[in-house]
Structure 1
Amino acid sequence: MSQQIRLATFDDYTRIMEIWESAVRATHDFLKEEDLIHFKKAIPADYLPNLDVFLLIEEGVPIGFSAASEGNLEMLFIHDGKRGKGYGKKLFYFMKETQGVTRVDVNEQNQQAIGFYEQLGFRKADRSEKDGSGKNYPIIHMLLHDNKT
């Protein structure tokens, strides 16, 4: 299968948000619907324009995306229909190599994501009661202990 990773543009935002919603609905069952709607509006307006977002494309179709800022993995989402096939790892290693990722913040209730990042060599370093938007979703701050690749 033909795969590539490229920088996203504004024209990709609709597909990015489709991927995001598919992934979040599959993994963030703790998220209230009104908060999901809030993030659905905030991400393309406030986050995506301020980040270099990379798309993972398979056979011409974007199936995942990721962004980092100053070594922190800000987002990594794979379309629900493509999860569990190694795409997340592929995108993570690309971000590690090209963006110098060493940190990630994960919702405490998202045990799948915590396990995913632990498999990649991350360890819990700290915890915050609220997420970056001030909402009551505790965050686990994880650091990469690079004994795994």
Structure 2
Amino acid sequence: MQNRKATANDVSLIIDIWERSVMATHHFLSVEDRQEIRKEIPLYLPHVDVRLWYAKGACIGFSGINNNHLEMLFLDPGKIGQGYGRQILHSLIRDFHIQTIDVNKQNGNAVRFYLKSGFKVIREDATDSAGRPYPILHLKYADH
């Protein structure tokens, strides 16, 4: 698996992967909130180290890092459940020293994925960072 740093030319690809992934995994989001978040993404991307991830020559997802915090990890929905997320996460831990992650509590598959990968819940907020009614779990890698 390979990755490369995203550029401004990749924004439409990132938004496309994000939108398809969210449609497949974030059923708890209201349509209005999903549309609002979609508009926020291009404003947020310059503030994180965004990596595009490739397998067999095709882009399968992206991640966003801020210091040692994983801000986002989204896979093409057709690639979910094939081990790519685990490979990416292990690479992020090993090569980028990821220690913490925030995840929507209502995204049960993601919560199970991170817990199974060695993260532990250290705190919970009742809303997301924008005050929307989506509880956030703050996770820390158990080895740190």
| 8 Å Cα contact 1:15/1:62 also seen in 2 | no
Whole-angstrom distance in 2 between the partners of 1:37 and 1:49: 20
**Offset, 1:77:** 0.5
Q: Give the structure 2 partner of residue 144 of structure 1.
A: 141
Q: Give the structure 2 partner of residue 109 of structure 1.
A: 106
**Offset, 1:61:** 2.6
**Offset, 1:90:** 1.4
**Offset, 1:146:** 2.5
Q: How many residues were matched structurally?
A: 144
Runs of 4+ in structure 1 deviating by more than 4 angstroms, as ranges, are: none
Whole-angstrom distance in 2 between the partners of 1:146 and 1:116: 16
- Between stretches 134-143 and 51-60, larger displacement belongs to 51-60
Identity %: 41
**Offset, 1:72:** 1.1
Q: Does 1:70 align with 2:51?
A: no
Unmatched tracts of structure 1, length 5 or more: none
Q: Does 1:86 align with 2:64?
A: no
Match of 2:27 among 14, 23, 29: 29
Q: Give the TM-score normalised by structure 1.
A: 0.91
Q: Give the structure 2 partner of residue 48 of structure 1.
A: 45
Whole-angstrom distance in 1 between the partners of 2:105 and 2:87: 23
Q: Give the TM-score normalised by structure 2.
A: 0.94
Unmatched tracts of structure 2, length 5 or more: none
Partner SS state of residue 131, structure 2: coil
